[in-house]
Structure 1
Amino acid sequence: MFSFKGKSAKDFGLVVREVETPLLPSATHRTINVSNMHGAIDVGRKYEPREITVQIGIKGDSYESVRSQARTIAAWLNSDKLEKLVLEDEPDKYYMARIVDDTDLKPLFRYEETSVTFIATNPFAISQKPKTVKLSKNNSKKVTVAGTAETFPVFNILMDAASDNFTISVKNEKYGTVHMKLFDKFIKGEPVVVDCQSGTIRVDNRKANILSLDSDLATLVNGENTITCSGSGTVEMTYTDRWL
């Protein structure tokens, strides 16, 4: 069973025969060919969108009722934008997806069957519950990320004194230590938001280019991540676990 756009397939009387989800999203492998060298040089890979196929059946008391129900289901599944797709065996996770390809009904006696393919442009399953961690200034905190895919935190800083700099450092096994050094004329009580997902920084709700040239935005990985805050402010970090 599955739900889409906040409504369950059960609400439409659908028979869900099978849900096909690949173990891993497909990947594009990046290589560089060098003349007079066997094979190629590996330069990493990139995950492609994930496709999830659902085999469904529509039952009715007559051919007319089956066709009427099919139109109702078509209106439910149709979407111009990505919507929440939740699979029954993982109700704590979701994908942002929409339908792709043609959907042809195979008519049987008072029953029609078809396969519906969803495409999730973000190939990772996303936790339904974001996590928030309070960080102490001028101190370090270890955060264990449960999700098996990388995720991008959001830091909400409230300046508790006037200052001209603030630094957040994130250390993990994959990326080593990444520093985010912020330079501005901060005033007491001013909110600062560092969004590593969108790549934006906002000071008192205005977009600001205050990240130093030798800084980078942080990525959290599965396992232990150590976050250190240096400066005059209190910090909350919010992140969402994602899974391969």
Structure 2
Amino acid sequence: MDFIFNGISASSIGIKVLNTKRSILPDIRDQYETVPGKIGSYLFAQPFGDRIIEIECAFVSQTADTILQDARKISAWLSTNKKAQLILSKETDKYYMAKVSNKVDIDQTLYLGQFSIQFTCEPFAYSLDDNIQQFTAQPGATQGIYNNGTAETNPVISIIAAWGDIKNPKITLNDITFLYKGTITNNSQIDINSESFTCYKGMDRDINTTGGYDPAEDSILALIDGEFPTLQPGPNSLIFSCENGVNADIKIQFKERWI
């Protein structure tokens, strides 16, 4: 067993993983209200809380005197001021966004040091690679998009005017409609980011850095009507339409997420 945190694997610095503990579900934050005279209670469903992953580790130093030196190297590796990627060896295609949340006490026996790391993680596991799909959409036609994850995810959708000007383009993803009340000129595009709730003309996309766009690019949020679309687990349907009936190239980019 092994794990990678902040780009460095435990095995590469001489750490052996003894055990990994993680809950099936993240923290459940639902609230229940008891009403006199009513059987049971009212449920007020809440979003998931954090997920805790605990990893028990050990390392062997060359001498009993060098254990503290080795421990300082480990502490430098684990010390971050923000969340970093945590990849477990049994799921190398997924990562968690995590930060160490305990002080990591070391139990020393001669040359052996043992310790337990507690990571506080965002509730979902994310795919390491983006799922990118691109197609030419005819107005009114339905395009299927499959999300292999078990949780909804927020895509970046690009509408590209590869076939002429597009007037008042509209995207309907499942039951959510997103309308741009303007014209995408020929050979240009708009980018709808449901992760950061932004919409730009031809922004330089990076869905891992939400909102990190060139400020010189023009935001078109003032010309938007509707909701930012999301992808549900499993099959999804996307319908493109526009006022002047021109085809559009659609690019959809997202990270699959798992509970």
Fold shared, TM-score > 0.5 on shorter chain: yes
Gaps in structure 2 of 5+ consecutive residues: 204-217
CA distance in 1 between partners of 2:102 and 2:12 (Å): 24
**TM-score, normalised on structure 2?**
0.86
Deviation of 1:35 (Å): 4.8
CA distance in 2 between partners of 1:135 and 1:230 (Å): 14
Deviation of 1:189 (Å): 2.1
Q: Give SS of 1:27's match.
A: coil
Deviation of 1:34 (Å): 4.1
CA distance in 2 between partners of 1:32 and 1:208 (Å): 42
Q: How many residues align?
A: 236
Gaps in structure 1 of 5+ consecutive residues: 172-176
1:228 — aligned with what? Answer: 239
2:131 — aligned with what? Answer: 131
1:207 — aligned with what? Answer: 219
For residue 68 of structure 1, what is the amino acid of its counterpart? Q
Relative to its length, the structure with more strand (as a share) is 1
How far does the alpha carbon of each residue in 1:61-120 deviate from its partner, in whole angstroms, 9 at most, with x for none? 212221111111111111001111100000000011110122111111111111111111
Q: Give SS of 1:46's match.
A: coil
1:151 — aligned with what? Answer: 153
Question: Is the 2:57–2:116 contact (alpha carbons within 8 Å) kept by the matching residues of 1?
Answer: yes
1:174 — aligned with what? Answer: none
**2:178 aligned to which of 166, 176, 180:** 180
Deviation of 1:6 (Å): 1.3
Are 2:219 and 1:216 equivalent residues in the alignment? no
2:209 — aligned with what? Answer: none
How far does the alpha carbon of each residue in 1:218-244 deviate from its partner, in whole angstroms, 9 at most, with x for none? 111111101111134311011111111
Question: Is the 2:184–2:190 contact (alpha carbons within 8 Å) kept by the matching residues of 1?
Answer: no
CA distance in 2 between partners of 1:43 and 1:136 (Å): 42
RMSD (Å) for aligned C-alpha atoms = 1.6
**TM-score, normalised on structure 1?**
0.91
CA distance in 1 between partners of 2:167 and 2:44 (Å): 39
CA distance in 2 between partners of 1:243 and 1:68 (Å): 38
Deviation of 1:164 (Å): 3.2
